[in-house]
């Protein structure tokens, strides 16, 4: 069930891709006042950066501009750092893909390893008692200490 | 007096160097008296650092503005609790505080192991004292907390107003405790690698320290989130800021270790992996400190930025090279035959849990350093902000929650279809019912929906474990239900403490998902008597009030909160102006309940027109994040609490060799 749920979930887009809202555009941009927050989250109402940006976004959306065009305008003005997350193009693509690739590679490796261990364990002799490693080590240690005395 | 503090730090550095040297020589040449001398020197280091801390604290409390540190981070009007907090509010003080915690823990470890772990202890002392040397070296040669000003200041510049908050008095000490106590498992890991005693001994010796460190990392992160929520005033509690990430990464890796070490204890496998996780947790604490200090990545939380970055990078490299080298050297001995028989087993679930936890840690690391990577490679500055971290980590987080439900319930070795049915039929049923009920309640499909449904599934598995354990005791031992339940937990503290922690984790997940997905935000400019709707609340701006004292002036908007035609609260969000640092801050007003927080921020006030601009957020279920934290703390306490047998025979219970004192 849970796997199914997860599959449904992963298939679902993380955000609704309807017409861009003010919030969506504001969240895609970083406030340039140094607060480190998105334009949407920046709450300095007299903020010299966030407030004019919010106003401009409102006006551009009202004029029927698309999200991408608005982001491009800001990017041309402030540079790529104004975007709150890396683009999906060129080198930036690595930012997005590498975490998932790493987890996928790890998962694949793990799956192959478990498959192999599983196959081996069905043919191998019964496993040694669980505490044998610890006991062996304790024996060795105590013998060593005994010898040292 | 301050000169005495400086002398104490210099002497502490010398003693730490001595302790390191004689411990290593004593260990290699098997000279007991040298090893003991090293341990005694470590005690002396602690005593000297205590003297230095006491002197700095006294200078702060006495407002000795001839000291640069006191003048920079306190003032004569600063309330006493924040004057004490100024001890870790600035860089020099925080480094001294770090040294204090480290030497305190070293002392505790020495006392705990007076009669145990004789083979490991010299290396443990040497490792901890080497770390202490790094911090004491910085305090001696680079950044002196007892530096005098050429002319004593008449008044201090005051502590940053953002740090003048209750949570800030407990958040940094908690986080530091978590960070610094990670040094103890690290030291034991290095000792195990150095001596070749790679089995259970070191793992058992650090079991409580690992939990202790994890416990304080958890609290430190949550206190920090709570501080951000109350102080930064943007309606949220986590912004994926580099410094937040720096605190989160060691927590993730430490969580992975706490799970995978169970497999080592049970099946004597994953020795290399567990070793790597312990070494990585410690390395990440140093990396986190590097991020906070270096300014290499801009952060709103870098209150103590300086040029110390290269020193931390140097120390981090040393840690990585030494640990990596030792692991490589011992690799043949560390390798053990792995025996995971099936995907449908607890071992496999734990392995995938580790993969996801370390995967999230890696994603956070990658996102945090990517701006630097981009600048190196392309010469272009970019921002990796909250949207990136949310999109990358949300699916991984949901997968983790799913595994938190599977791991504790599935059988070891190989789960049969019968076992699967018995373990999961009811929890899966509960999860499905919840999923359908949520859809009927118009909660759209998505991460929040999945989190809620999976939360029910996880709680189902945990409740079932408690229920079955209790019923079994009742049937076999004829105990009453409450007695059976308390005995069940008391006799299996680690296991049931872990389950309680999972309940807390579910609460945190639910709080985060709900407040991220269903937040309501309103911004409105109002005249006195005007109203605005925010979710199910109506807010009426009543009046502005002003207060003035020597420390700060305050401007508060009095807002009455109405619901269904009835007044339910009066809130007063403030703007404060701290006079010494000449800095305005925002003071949030909140009405927290179990279902939602009404969170008000006073944006601006126009003196002439009398208009105020209010920001109102309705954040659903946020309280559950803090409640989840309390539950996690409770569960950790249960898991850490020693059993009667351990209290009576600690050395045996810790699996350590007990040898007579000479």
Query: Per residue in B461-514, pLDDT tens?
Result: 999 999 999 999 988 888 888 999 999 998 889 999 999 999 999 999 999 999
Tell me if B560 sits within 8 A of B542, measured CB to CB. yes
pLDDT surpassing 80 at residue B619: yes
A4 touches B: beta carbon within 8 Å? no
Q: Identify all chain B residues contacting A100, using CB atoms and an 8 Å cutoff.
A: 392
The residue-averaged pLDDT of B261-276 equals 88
pLDDT in tens, A70-83: 999 999 999 998 99
Confidence of residue B638 (pLDDT cuts 50, 70, 90): very high
A7 pLDDT more than 50: no
Q: What is the pTM of this model?
A: 0.89
Pairing of β B537-548 and β B583-587: unpaired
Q: How far apart, in whole angstroms, are the C-alpha atoms of residue B535 and residue B598?
A: 9
pLDDT at residue A130, rounded to an integer: 47
Q: Tell me: pLDDT of B299 over 70.
A: no
B115-119, B141-145, B453-457: the lowest-pLDDT one? B115-119
pLDDT at B660 over 50: no
**pLDDT for the residue numbered A44:** 67
Using a CB-CB cut-off of 8 Å, the residues of chain B touching A91 are 374, 377-378
Of B236, B299, B586, the CB nearest to A41: B236
Q: Chain B contacts of A23, Cβ < 8 Å? A: 521
Which is higher by pLDDT, B646 or B238?
B238
Average pLDDT score over chain A: 76
Q: Are B218 and B276 in contact (CB under 8 A)?
A: no
H/E run at residue A30: none
DSSP per-residue string spanning A81-147 = GGBSS--SSGGGHHHHHHHHHHHHHHHHHHHHHHHHHHHHHHHSPPPPPTTHHHHHHHHHHHHHHHH
pLDDT at residue A121 in the model: 66
- Could you tell me the pLDDT band of residue B310, with boundaries at 50, 70 and 90? confident
Rounded to 10°, the helix B493-517/B447-477 angle is 160
Cα–Cα distance measured from residue A97 to residue B527, given in angstroms and rounded to the nearest whole number: 50
pLDDT band at B284 (very low <50, low <70, confident <90, very high): very high
Judged against a pLDDT cut of 80, whether residue A126 lies above it is answered with no
Q: Kindly state the average pLDDT of the residues B428-448.
A: 94
- Collapsing DSSP to helix, strand or coil, B612 comes out as strand
Q: How confident is the model at residue A140 (pLDDT cuts 50, 70, 90)?
A: low
Within 8 A by CB and 6+ apart from B494, the residues are B639
| Cα pseudo-dihedral B105, B108, B112, B115, rounded to 10 | 100
For an interface test with A, give the residue of B236, B245, B268 to mutate (most A CBs within 10 A): B268
- Specify burial of residue B424 (Cβ count, 10 A radius: 0-12, 13-18, 19+): buried
- Render pLDDT for B164-177 as a digit per residue (tens, 0 to 9): 888 888 888 999 99
CB contact under 8 A, A86 and B340: no
- A109: nearest CA in chain B? B355
Question: What percentage of residues in chain B have a pLDDT greater than 90?
Answer: 64
Are the CB atoms for B187 and B117 separated by under 8 Å?
Answer: no
Looking at chain A, how many residues does it have? Answer: 149
Contacts of B343 in chain A (CB under 8 A): 111, 114-115, 118
Q: Mean of the pLDDT values across residues B386-412?
A: 93
Cα dist from B22 to B46, B201, B411, whole Å = 17, 23, 49
pLDDT at B183 > cutoff 70: yes
What number is the average pLDDT over the span B185-195?
95
Task: Please indicate whether, in this complex, the C-beta atoms of B355 and A110 are within 8 angstroms of each other.
Answer: yes
Give A149 or B38, the one with higher predicted confidence: B38
Structural domain boundaries in chain A: 14-85, 92-148
- Between the alpha carbon of residue B559 and those of residues A84, B526, B542, B606, the distances in Å are 34, 11, 6, 16
Q: Which of A14, A85, A137 should we substitute to test contact with B (largest number of B Cβ atoms within 10 Å)?
A: A85
Mean of per-residue pLDDT scores for chain B: 89
Most B CBs within 10 Å: which of A2, A133, A145, as the mutation test of the B interface? Answer: A2
**Around Cβ B418, how many Cβ atoms within 10 Å?**
9
Confidence of residue B627 (pLDDT cuts 50, 70, 90): very high
In degrees rounded to 5, what are phi and psi of residue B34? -70, -40
Q: Is B565 exposed, middle or buried (0-12, 13-18, 19+ CB in 10 A)?
A: exposed
Taking alpha carbons only, the member of B271, B39, B7 closest to residue B140 is B7
- At A135, the pLDDT band (50, 70, 90 cuts) reads low
pLDDT tens column, A30-89: 988 877 788 888 876 567 788 889 889 999 999 988 999 999 999 999 999 899 999 988
Q: Confidence class of residue B364 from pLDDT cuts 50, 70 and 90?
A: very high
How high is the pLDDT of residue B647?
A: 63
CB–CB contact B236 A83 (8 Å): no
Q: Which chain B residues are Cβ-neighbours of A103 within 8 angstroms?
A: 355-356, 359, 362-363, 396
Of B266, B388, B659, the CB nearest to A95: B388
Query: Widest CA span of chain B, in angstroms?
Result: 83
DSSP strand E in B399-528: where?
520-526
| B121 has a chain A CB within 8 A of its CB | no
CA dist., res. B509 & res. B365, Å (int): 21
């Amino acid at each position: 069930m849970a796997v199914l749920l997860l599959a449904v979930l992963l298939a679902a887009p993380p955000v609704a891709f309807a017409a861009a809202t003010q919030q969506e555009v504001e969240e895609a941009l970083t406030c340039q006042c140094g607060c480190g927050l998105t334009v949407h989250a920046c709450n300095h109402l007299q903020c010299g950066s966030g407030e004019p940006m919010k106003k401009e976004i409102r006006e551009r959306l009202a004029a029927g501009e698309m999200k991408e065009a608005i982001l491009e305008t800001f990017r041309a003005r402030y540079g790529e750092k104004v975007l709150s997350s890396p683009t999906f193009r060129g080198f930036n693509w690595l930012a997005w893909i590498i975490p998932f690739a790493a987890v996928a590679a790890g998962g694949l490796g793990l799956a192959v390893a478990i498959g192999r261990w599983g196959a081996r364990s069905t043919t191998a002799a019964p496993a040694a008692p669980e505490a044998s490693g610890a006991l062996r080590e304790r024996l060795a240690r105590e013998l060593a200490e005994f010898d040292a005395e | 007096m301050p000169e005495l503090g400086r002398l104490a730090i210099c002497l502490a550095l010398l003693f730490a160097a001595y302790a390191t040297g004689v411990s290593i020589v004593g260990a290699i040449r098997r000279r007991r008296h040298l090893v003991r001398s090293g341990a005694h020197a470590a005690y002396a280091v602690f005593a000297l650092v205590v003297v230095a801390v006491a002197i700095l604290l006294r200078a702060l409390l006495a407002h000795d503005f001839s000291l640069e540190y006191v003048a920079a981070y306190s003032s004569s009007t600063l309330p006493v609790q924040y004057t004490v907090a100024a001890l870790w509010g600035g860089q020099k003080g925080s480094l001294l505080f770090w040294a204090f915690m480290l030497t305190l823990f070293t002392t505790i470890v020495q006392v705990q192991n007076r009669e145990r772990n004789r083979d490991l202890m010299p290396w443990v002392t040497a490792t901890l004292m080497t770390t202490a040397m790094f911090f004491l070296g910085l305090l001696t040669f680079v950044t002196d907390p007892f530096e005098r000003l050429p002319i004593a200041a008449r008044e201090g510049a005051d502590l940053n107003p953002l740090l003048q908050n209750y949570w800030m008095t407990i958040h940094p000490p908690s986080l530091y405790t978590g960070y610094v106590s990670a040094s103890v498992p690290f030291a034991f890991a290095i000792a195990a690698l150095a001596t070749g005693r790679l089995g259970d001994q070191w793992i058992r010796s650090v079991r409580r320290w690992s939990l202790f460190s994890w416990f304080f990392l958890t609290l430190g992160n949550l206190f920090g989130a709570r501080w951000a929520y109350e102080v930064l005033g943007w309606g949220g509690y986590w912004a994926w800021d580099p410094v937040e990430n720096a605190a989160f990464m060691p927590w993730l890796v430490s969580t992975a270790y706490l799970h995978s070490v169970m497999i080592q204890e049970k099946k004597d496998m994953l020795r290399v992996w567990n070793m790597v996780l312990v070494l990585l947790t410690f390395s990440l604490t140093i990396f986190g400190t590097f991020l906070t200090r270096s300014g290499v990545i801009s952060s709103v939380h870098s209150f103590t930025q300086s040029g110390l970055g290269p020193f931390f990078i140097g120390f981090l490299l040393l840690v990585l090279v030494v640990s990596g080298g030792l692991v490589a050297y011992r690799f043949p001995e560390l390798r053990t035959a792995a025996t995971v028989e099936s995907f449908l087993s607890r071992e496999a679930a734990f392995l995938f849990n580790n993969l996801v936890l370390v995967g999230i840690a890696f994603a956070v690391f990658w996102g945090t350093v990517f701006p630097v990577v981009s600048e190196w490679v392309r010469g272009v500055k970019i921002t990796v902000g909250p949207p990136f971290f949310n999109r990358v980590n949300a699916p991984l987080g949901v997968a983790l929650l799913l595994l938190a439900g599977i791991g504790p319930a599935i059988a070891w070795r190989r789960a049969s279809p019968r076992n699967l049915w018995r373990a999961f039929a009811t929890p899966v049923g509960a999860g499905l019912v919840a999923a359908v009920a949520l859809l009927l309640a118009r909660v759209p499909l998505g991460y929040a929906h999945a989190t809620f449904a999976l939360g029910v599934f996880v709680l189902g598995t945990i409740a079932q474990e408690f229920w079955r354990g209790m019923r079994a005791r009742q049937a076999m031992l004829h105990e009453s239900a409450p007695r059976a339940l308390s005995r069940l937990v008391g006799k299996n503290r680690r296991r049931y403490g872990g389950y309680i922690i999972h309940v807390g984790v579910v609460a945190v997940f639910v709080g985060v998902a709900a407040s991220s997905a269903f937040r309501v935000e309103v911004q409105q400019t109002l005249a006195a008597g005007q109203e605005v709707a925010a979710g199910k609340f109506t807010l009426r701006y009543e009046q502005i009030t002003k207060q003035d004292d020597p420390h700060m002036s305050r401007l508060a908007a009095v807002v009455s909160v109405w619901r269904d035609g009835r007044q339910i609260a009066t809130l007063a969000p403030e703007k404060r102006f701290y006079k010494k640092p000449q800095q305005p801050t925002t003071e949030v007003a909140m009405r927290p309940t179990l279902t939602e927080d009404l969170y008000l921020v006073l944006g601006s006030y126009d003196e002439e027109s009398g208009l105020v601009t209010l920001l109102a957020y309705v954040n659903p279920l946020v309280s559950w994040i803090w409640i989840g934290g309390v539950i996690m703390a409770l569960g950790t306490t249960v898991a850490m609490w020693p059993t009667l047998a351990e209290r009576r025979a600690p050395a045996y219970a810790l699996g350590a060799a007990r040898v007579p004192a000479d």
